[in-house]
Each structure stands twice: as structure tokens, then as C-alpha cells.
Amino acid sequence: MAEKTKISERLDENIAHMEELFHTCDDIKKKRMNLGKNRDVACYLTFIEVSVDMGNSALLEVLKYLRGLEREEILRVLEQNALGTSDATYFTTIEEAGDGLLTGEAIFFVDGFAKAVKIPDDGYPNMGINEADSEKVVRGSNEGFGDSVKQNAALIRKRIRSPQVKVKEKKMGVRSNTNVYLVYMEGIVYPELVAKIEERLEGFEIDGVLDSGVIEQLSEEKWYSPFPQFQTTERPDRAAMSILDGRVVVLSDNSPIALILPTDYNSFIKTSDDYYNRWEIASFERLLRYFASFFAMTLPGLYLAVTNFHTQILPTTLLLSFADARSGVPFPAVIEVIIMELSFELLREAGVRLPGAMGNTIGIVGGLIIGQAAVEANLVSPIVVIVISFTALCSFAVPNEEFATAFRLLKFFFIGICAWLGFFGFLAGLLAVLIHLSHLKSFGVPYLMPYVAADLNDYEDERDFLWRQPLRLLWKRPIYAKKNNRRKLRMKQ
């Protein structure tokens, strides 16, 4: 590692080093000025153009304050950190000052003072607090994470106003120097979990971390699995809920998506408003999502297994209806299903990529027109259109988009194995998926928790899985929390 350059008391030397570090950077403004009562104190201010507001900010107040002091008073104020701004940071090397400048703040040098001062300001422009685009809820907050990691951490603190909420900052990306926060609740989270996450994050080096998805992919233990081992969310209330359960939230600068870990299959099926609504409707909707996740993966394959190999299990009238619908279709059933599935996936992708209202329009109108035209042209049968449409509805019912993609991919695996082996292939594929899930772990937590290892938490996690018991009975935190601190609810008599 190259030796760092110490900041000198001589201003000209510091300016030369900063000019060398940021040469050919026309977006970085560099201003020489003289401050003090007698304008005899040479200073140097540098900042990224759009990140600092010189008209009305803490920086302007600091400069006005220093303009009215004698030279000795200015040096004494700097030495005593008495600038009147709480977020002023002092750097002793040119490299640290350069990193501070790249966070979007102003860097201030004074002749005769052997440190650089970072003075807080507006910082980089960002989109602010947005409404959550995914994970829509009927009841609950509509706030979503933004692009600023500091704002996102503040949104969590807004919901958990406790000094036990700890935030650890890390720099990731050799060249991007992205701020990454680990947010957790001290006393509830296992310290070993935090240490293991930090170790996993330090287990790779990469040029730039531009989104939390980079961290997720490089930190997963079973990277080849289609099932995500990190849960994602853009909802601050979901992140806060997870922290109260003893989990860790990873926030990345420039990304509105937070990572929650450890996680399991059941956590992906839950939504925030499961706990805001009454237990009867919450349980009903959760059961619907479980069925949806199953059929999103298996329904087209199951249709092929029944119609190609096991027609005897269908009533005669239904079988005759299927046969009549397929009359005149020139393709085998498996080609028919694949054509429609690929068509729908193309429509989904086009709808995502096209802007605004146009994307919504092509998803609805395109599906109707293509499906109707394909049926009228005898390219596919009406029953296949119904099967594919129902499969798509099931995939949309899975709350987490990243989790739903696993079922979208496995759907093609089931189409292939069921077209080859029929119902035996369906069972073999289902067994293969279950075996794979049983081998998955997220930072030591079994992926199929609480279907497995429920006894580790005295079967308390079973109160909140396939159905959600009344809130007054969910008095214990899940398996993620420290064993001696799992009580979260006490009813007062």
C-alpha cells in the first residue's frame, strides 16, 4: 500500500497535492481566498460543483464567522474544533481529504494549520424519499427507501427510536468507495452474526459497488442457487420490523433496496401488512401466497404430465373438452406451452423496460391481443392460454420479486421434466427442489425454518408461518434473536 501524504502547515504544498490528485476534474471547484479581519489568512476551499450550496448553508456561516477573526483566533478555533458545526471532520492526510471531498462535502485548508476540515453541506443530489414501487400494502406506511444511505438509516431510526440501534459504516469498492451501513439492534442480535456478515463483506474486492445487488451476489454462500439467500426490501417499516426480530439490515449508498439477513423461505412469503391487519385475513392471504408460489413453479408442467401421460385421472367430459380445444393445433403440447410462456415473459420484460403508461398498456393489451390471435390462428389451444395466465397471476402474487424469479426459472425445469417423464417427473422435480432447499442456509439459519428445526425455538416460530396466529399470541421473537432476549410482548392485566 502506498504511503499516505501528510497535510502540511504550508498551504501551497497542500494545494499542489490536491491539484495533482484531482487534475482534469473540471467538476471540482477550487477556490483560493483570504479570511480574517485583515484578510491576511490564506485559505483554500474545494468541493464538487453541485454538492455544495454557497448561497445558504453551514459552509457559508463558517466562512462568515472566520472572516471576523484575527489570524491567531482562526487557528485556535480550528485547533479546538469550535467552528459551530457538529459534523466537521478533521483529516491529517491528503488521501483522507480526497475521500472526504468525494463524499460530496466541502474540504477546507488554512495556511498554518496542518489538517484539512470537512464541512457538511447538501451533499450529492438524490431523489429523496420515494413511495415504495414494489411490496405494495393495503395498510401501513407508503414510504420507501431512497438513494441516500444516510436518509435510509434515518428512516429506520424514525421507526425505532432507541440507542440500541447500532449503525456500522464500511467502505466497499476499491474505486467507488461506496458507503455501506450495517444496521442492527444491540442486545437482540447475535454478535457472532454481525461478525460473520462483516467477514463475508470483507471476503472480496471489487472496483465498484453501485447497488446492493452486487453485495448480495458476491456474499451468498450457495451462489448457484436460484433462491436468494438475502431478503430484499425497499420498505423502511419492513427493515425496522426485521431489526426488532434480531436480524441485520445492510444498506448501500445509491441503492433504494436494503438487504435483510439471515432469511428463510417463510420470510419471503410474509408482507408488512400481515401484522397490521387482523389475523384471519392475514392468514388467508398468506395461504394464498403459499399456493401461488407452488403453482407458479409447477402448473404448466403438471398440465403437460396430465394431458400427455395420465389422462385417465381427468373426468371424461373434461378430457373431451381438452381434446376438442386442441383439435387443429399443429404443435405438440410441450411446444405450445413453451411458446406461450416465452411470449408472456417477453411481454413482461417489454412492460418493465418501456416507460410509464406505455409499459402498463403493452402488458395488458399485448397479452390480450397475442393470446386471442394465437387461439384464432390455431397455434395454441384456449386451455393453454388459461394455464399460462393463471401461472402468471400466481407469480405476481409472490410478494418478493427476487424470490418470484426463482419460480419463474424453475417453471421451465418442470415443463421439461414433466414433458419427458410425466407425473413421475413432476414428483422427481419436486423432490429435487425440496432437497436443494433443505441444503440451503442463510448465515447458519436453515432455509426451510420453521418447517425444520422448529424445536430450537420451542416451536414458537410455528405460530407465524403457514397461518398467523392472533397478535397477542406472538409474544416471542423468532429464531434470529438471542435466546435469552426473545420475549417481545407482555400483556398488562
For 41-103, the DSSP string reads: EEEEEEEEGGG--SSSSHHHHHHHHHHTS-HHHHHHHHHTT-SS-TT-EEESBHHHHHHHHTT
pLDDT of residue 87: 67
In this predicted structure, the answer to whether residue 90 has a pLDDT above a threshold of 80 is: yes
pLDDT of residue 122: 64
What nine digits make up the cell of 450?
420453521
pLDDT of residue 199: 93
Check: CB of residue 415 under 8 Å from CB of residue 337. yes
CA–CA separation, 220 vs 402, rounded Å?
14
Q: How far is CA 447 from the centre of its chain?
A: 19
In this predicted structure, the answer to whether residue 14 has a pLDDT above a threshold of 70 is: yes
CA atoms within 13 A on the CB side of 389: 14
* φ, ψ for residue 54, nearest 5 deg: -75, -10
CA–CA separation, 317 vs 480, rounded Å?
52
* φ, ψ for residue 105, nearest 5 deg: -105, 170
Phi-psi region of 247 (alpha: psi -120 to 50; beta: other; left: phi over 0): beta
pLDDT of residue 360: 61
Check: CB of residue 235 under 8 Å from CB of residue 241. no
CA–CA separation, 59 vs 293, rounded Å?
54
pLDDT of residue 311: 85
pLDDT of residue 126: 66
pLDDT of residue 226: 94
Q: How far is CA 441 from CA 53, 185, 268, 464, in A?
A: 48, 22, 14, 20
CA–CA separation, 445 vs 222, rounded Å?
13
CA–CA separation, 149 vs 124, rounded Å?
11
Check: CB of residue 271 under 8 Å from CB of residue 281. no
CA–CA separation, 334 vs 87, rounded Å?
64
Task: Give the position of cell 433504494.
Answer: 256
The Cβ of residue 308 has, within 10 Å, a number of other Cβ atoms equal to 16
Check: CB of residue 361 under 8 Å from CB of residue 369. no
Residue 444, SS3? coil
What's the rounded mean pLDDT across residues 46-52? 81
pLDDT tens for 382-432 read: 888 889 989 989 999 999 989 999 999 999 999 999 999 999 999 999 999
pLDDT of residue 356: 64
Nearest residue to 270 via CA among 403, 159, 405: 403
Q: How far is CA 153 from the centre of its chain?
A: 13
Residue type, 202: E
pLDDT of residue 490: 85
Q: pLDDT over 70 for what percent of the chain?
A: 93
Check: CB of residue 130 under 8 Å from CB of residue 124. no
The domains of the chain are located at: 11-119, 130-263, 279-445, 449-485
